[in-house]
Amino acid sequence: MIKHFKLLYVIFAIKSILYIYSLKTLLMIYITRREHFNAAHRLFRSDYSDEQNLQVFGKCSNPNWHGHNYTLFVTVSGEVDAATGFLVNLKDLSVIIDQNVIEKLDHRNINLEVDFMKGKLASTENLAIGIWNEVVSPIKALGATLHCIKLYETENNFVEYFGG
């Protein structure tokens, strides 16, 4: 009989935790800021010949570089502040993105001029990861959680990164 009550207590405790977790999840809100920048890059490996680079990366391996008009979406999550009605002030989020991303990337050569991309292949995937690493701490300091970096390289190609 005592074992039965202990089992019921454990089941009740688990259900309570799941209920509280689901309420917290329901109270979670997401907000996204969109920004734009233009940058040049070249997809290539220095240990490959020009022919190998062309075979693997296609015209994106052009030794004379090429550029994109990128669209960046930064999504943060958290709870709405009762006093302001905001998750975060979007002006503050915009400043973080501008100072940590746009100023470093806009009208730059990603391979040569962007500090957080040094030594990395300048793919959109690696760029999204690099952007995440640049903004995750300042966003946390705002009291929010970085949820997703979505980076459009073209209207047809984009990457989503949810941290790692």
Q: Which position among 36, 79, 107, 160 bears the catalytic label?
A: 107
Residue pair 134/101 in contact by the 8 Å Cβ criterion = yes
Catalytic residue among 41, 68, 134, 153: 153
What is the DSSP secondary-structure string of 114-141?
-GGGTTS---HHHHHHHHHHHHHHHHHH
Looking up tokens 């100072």 gives 99
Six token digits for residue 66 = 């090429």
HSE-up of 152 (CA within 13 Å, CB side)? 12
Does the active-site annotation cover 36?
no
Active-site residue identified among 41, 60, 68, 134: 60
Active site residue 107: yes
Respond yes or no: is residue 60 known to be catalytic.
yes
Strand, coil or helix: what is 102?
helix
Catalytic residue numbers read: 60, 107, 153
